[in-house]
């Protein structure tokens, strides 16, 4: 692999719905550029970018993968991303380091749910966008229908730069509208533009020229003076309007059909896709936020956008060079960890294949092995010019499972393995839930979590059992209660004696626990005050009704008795514990459940079905907004009814619904449901 300068680099994220042909397109481009001698197939697990065992098993992309294509003196760093919505974190990482998002859509299906989702992420990232209408050779493929679906769904000025010659079984090649030339056949040969397309080609060419001159006054003057404009001049103007987001170029092709259109697509991307130095980068240093040019002379700034952990290969850290030159063997400063770390052998990755490099110029993408501290989102820079780049923004998990180790050996390795797999994928999170004593693994959906559990088994040999998590209920009281308890034990030797009179009162929600001492006249020595509190706290953790933590309660000890010989710490702990249990039961105890705010976005036609479903889940709809042809429903719902909602919503909306969830507060569980929880807890004990 050669070394490329900033101006020779194009960083392009391939995004879109699953099965739109992104991975197969990469295979076609690698084959056309002679990087590979045969085209791999998704079906038999031989593609360059889907090399993970789980990707081969499922026959879909699960992680982003790099595929640099060397083409006519340029390097196009394609980042192949998953189309399945559970793995959206990989798309966010790819977009953070790309200079163009190329949305791939199926010429048969048009815009799909994954298209809309990833397009929205590209908009949020503020990245220039382009579209490829792919699979023009498929049965029922329609360029016109695909274009109509784009224009209907997105508010953008779409500008065709290529036209298909034929479609379905008759797809022969493409017209490059910038050059007004036709390219047909397996060898990409120049041919005459079909006569029935001549008028459309001239009309679209005029549109292209008018779009290009918008960005450049000199071009505008030449155009109005009716002076001829070269293809390079037009391409330069197009690059500017694409960079600004004024126009979205549309390409066409058939990535699955050997050598048809792929070479033309690569030619077009070299000419009109922004290069890294077209887009300055923002970084925070000692003087605050600064803007820097992407070039070799800028301060050294590397952004880590992905890490992978493998017990055999070791840890691989993927990065983009935003400023300066990344040189093998350099010592870099990690601004998050506030530590230095050596940059080992710099690598260029093509799938899992590694190409050692002496250095990478500003704008390029590479990887390095065995960095101990660096993780996704970190900035690596020079110690004498410390700065921080903003890392990828990841959504919060939406789907949780409880995981249990199958053997004692699995127990010992579970925590460290979970940490490693979650470091690799920041949309996965894990924690110990203290109220249910379960280990919780959370991700974006059932497929996401299932993939993680399988990878943990395959890579690290840790076997985990997956269950639906227990709801983290809490217990509290709604009235004042009183109780007294005498603990008396005589065993022949020294006895035990303690009597405690106690009052419990409810507190405002989220106040916690308060302990008050109202004993006067020396009825109980103040030395036993902490003993009683210790006994009460032991019950707070274990609960009284169903084994859940007790919250928001005031405990006041106001009277009692002690014995000059037999009263001791353990006796007052026991008396305090039992008095509290009795007082708690007399104070109208209730169960509390976590309530979440759900923001659900669905196409209009599914809004009614979603609302009906929410009504069966004890949800309270807070409001409904409209955004284009989408309904945005806001609802407050108990977690107990929404544990598997990611799967349920997908089923209700044919995969076109999205949602976010955010914890709101704890609320009282209805009495009939609380009784079921209590009975289930007793049965489990």
Specify whether 184 is located in the same domain as 264. yes
Specify whether 376 is located in the same domain as 423. no
For 183, the token pair is 């390219």
Specify whether 538 is located in the same domain as 523. yes
Sheet (strand 339-342) strand order: 339-342, 331-334, 379-381, 301-308, 316-323, 365-369, 346-350, 353-357
Boundary of a domain, candidates 347, 367, 388: 388
Residue 213 lies in a domain: no
Specify whether 69 is located in the same domain as 145. yes
Specify whether 265 is located in the same domain as 152. yes
Residue 235 lies in a domain: no
The CATH number of the domain where 363 resides is what?
A: 2.40.30.10
Residue 208 lies in a domain: no
The CATH number of the domain where 431 resides is what?
A: 3.30.70.870
d(CA 298, CA 326): 12
Residue 214 lies in a domain: no
DSSP 277: G
DSSP 145: H
Specify whether 501 is located in the same domain as 561. yes
Tell me, yes or no, if the pTM score tops 0.75: yes
What is the number of domains present in the chain?
Answer: 5
Q: What is the pLDDT of residues 40-80, one digit of tens each?
A: 888 888 999 999 888 999 999 999 999 999 999 999 999 99
Specify whether 370 is located in the same domain as 438. no
Report whether pLDDT(481) > 80.
Answer: yes
pLDDT of residue 492: 65
Mean pLDDT of 316-323: 97
Handedness of CA 645, 646, 648, 652 (dihedral sign): positive
The CATH number of the domain where 581 resides is what?
A: 3.30.230.10
Other C-beta atoms closer than 10 Å to the C-beta of 375 total 19
pLDDT of residue 126: 94
- Give, in degrees to the nearest 5, the angle at Cα 107 between 264 and 242: 50
Specify whether 21 is located in the same domain as 112. yes
Sequence-distant (6+) residues with CB within 8 A of 384 are none
Q: Is 93 exposed, middle or buried (0-12, 13-18, 19+ CB in 10 A)?
A: buried
pLDDT of residue 13: 98
Specify whether 262 is located in the same domain as 149. yes
With beta carbons less than 8 A apart as the criterion, state whether 174 and 253 touch. Answer: yes
Specify whether 105 is located in the same domain as 121. yes
The CATH number of the domain where 605 resides is what?
A: 3.30.70.240
- CA 354 to each of CA 312, 369, 380, 673: distance values in angstroms, whole numbers, following the listed order: 15, 10, 21, 57
Specify whether 26 is located in the same domain as 167. yes
Mean pLDDT of 252-264: 84
Domain that holds residue 673: 592-684
Q: Using 50, 70 and 90 to split pLDDT, how confident is the model at 681?
A: confident
Specify whether 82 is located in the same domain as 96. yes
Residue 54 lies in a domain: yes
């Amino acid at each position: 692999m050669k070394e490329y300068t900033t101006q020779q680099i194009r960083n392009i994220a391939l995004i879109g719905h699953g099965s739109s042909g992104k991975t197969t397109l990469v295979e076609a481009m690698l084959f056309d550029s002679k990087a590979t001698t045969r085209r791999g197939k998704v079906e038999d697990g031989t593609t360059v970018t889907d090399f993970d065992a789980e990707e081969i098993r499922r026959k879909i992309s699960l992680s982003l993968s790099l595929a640099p294509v060397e083409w006519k003196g340029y390097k196009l760093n394609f980042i192949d991303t998953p189309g399945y919505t559970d793995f959206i974190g990989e798309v966010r990482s790819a977009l953070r380091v790309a200079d163009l998002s190329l949305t791939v859509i199926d010429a048969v299906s048009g815009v799909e749910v994954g298209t809309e989702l990833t397009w929205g992420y590209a908009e949020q990232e503020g990245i220039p966008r382009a579209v490829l209408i792919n699979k023009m050779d498929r049965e029922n493929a329609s360029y016109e229908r695909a274009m109509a679906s784009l224009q209907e769904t997105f508010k953008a000025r779409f500008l065709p730069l290529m036209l298909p010659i034929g479609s379905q079984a008759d797809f022969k090649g493409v017209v490059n509208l910038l050059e007004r030339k036709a390219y047909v056949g397996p060898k990409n040969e120049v041919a005459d533009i079909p006569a029935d397309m001549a008028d459309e080609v001239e009309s679209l060419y005029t549109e292209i020229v008018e779009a290009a001159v918008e960005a450049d006054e000199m071009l505008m003057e030449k155009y109005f003076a009716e002076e001829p404009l070269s293809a390079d001049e037009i391409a330069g103007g197009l690059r500017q309007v694409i960079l600004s987001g004024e126009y979205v170029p549309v390409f066409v092709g058939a990535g699955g059909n050997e050598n048809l259109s792929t070479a033309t697509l690569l030619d077009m991307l070299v000419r009109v896709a922004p290069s890294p130095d077209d887009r300055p980068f923002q970084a925070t240093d000692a003087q605050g936020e600064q803007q820097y040019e992407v070039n070799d002379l800028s301060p050294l700034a590397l952004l880590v956008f992905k890490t992978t952990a493998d017990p055999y290969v070791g840890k691989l850290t993927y990065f983009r060079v935003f400023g300066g030159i990344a040189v093998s063997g350099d010592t870099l400063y990690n601004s998050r960890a506030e530590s230095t770390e050596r940059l080992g052998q710099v690598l260029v990755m093509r799938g899992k294949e590694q190409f050692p490099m002496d250095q990478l110029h500003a704008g390029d993408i590479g990887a390095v092995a065995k960095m101990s501290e660096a993780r996704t989102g970190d900035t690596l820079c020079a110690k004498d010019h410390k700065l921080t780049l903003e890392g990828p923004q990841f959504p919060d998990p939406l789907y949780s499972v409880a995981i249990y180790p199958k053997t004692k050996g699995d127990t010992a390795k579970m925590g460290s393995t979970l940490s490693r797999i979650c470091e690799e994928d920041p949309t996965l999170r894990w924690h110990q839930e203290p109220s249910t004593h379960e280990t919780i693994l959370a991700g974006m959906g059932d497929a996401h979590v299932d993939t993680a559990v399988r990878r943990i088994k395959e890579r690290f040999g840790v076997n985990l059992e997956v269950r639906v998590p227990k709801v983290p209920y809490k217990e509290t009281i709604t009235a004042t209660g009183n109780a007294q308890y005498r603990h008396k034990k005589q065993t022949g030797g020294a006895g035990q004696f303690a009597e405690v009179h106690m009052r419990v009162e409810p507190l405002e929600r989220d106040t916690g626990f308060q302990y008050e001492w109202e004993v006067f006249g020396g009825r109980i020595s103040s030395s036993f005050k902490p003993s009683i509190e210790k006994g009460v706290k032991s019950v707070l953790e274990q609960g009284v009704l169903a084994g859940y933590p007790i919250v928001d309660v005031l405990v006041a000890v106001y009277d009692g008795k002690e014995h000059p010989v037999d009263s001791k710490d353990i006796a007052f702990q026991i008396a305090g514990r039992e008095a509290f249990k009795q007082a708690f039961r007399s104070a109208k105890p209730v169960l509390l459940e976590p309530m979440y705010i759900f923001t659900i976005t669905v196409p209009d036609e599914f809004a009614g079905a979603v609302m009906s479903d929410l009504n069966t889940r004890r949800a309270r709809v807070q409001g409904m907004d409209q955004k284009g042809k989408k309904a945005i429903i806001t609802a407050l719902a108990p977690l107990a009814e929404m544990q598997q909602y990611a799967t349920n919503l997908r089923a209700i909306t044919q995969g076109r619904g999205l949602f976010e969830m955010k914890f709101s507060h704890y609320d009282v569980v209805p009495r009939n449901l609380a009784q079921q929880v209590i009975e289930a807890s007793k049965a489990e004990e």
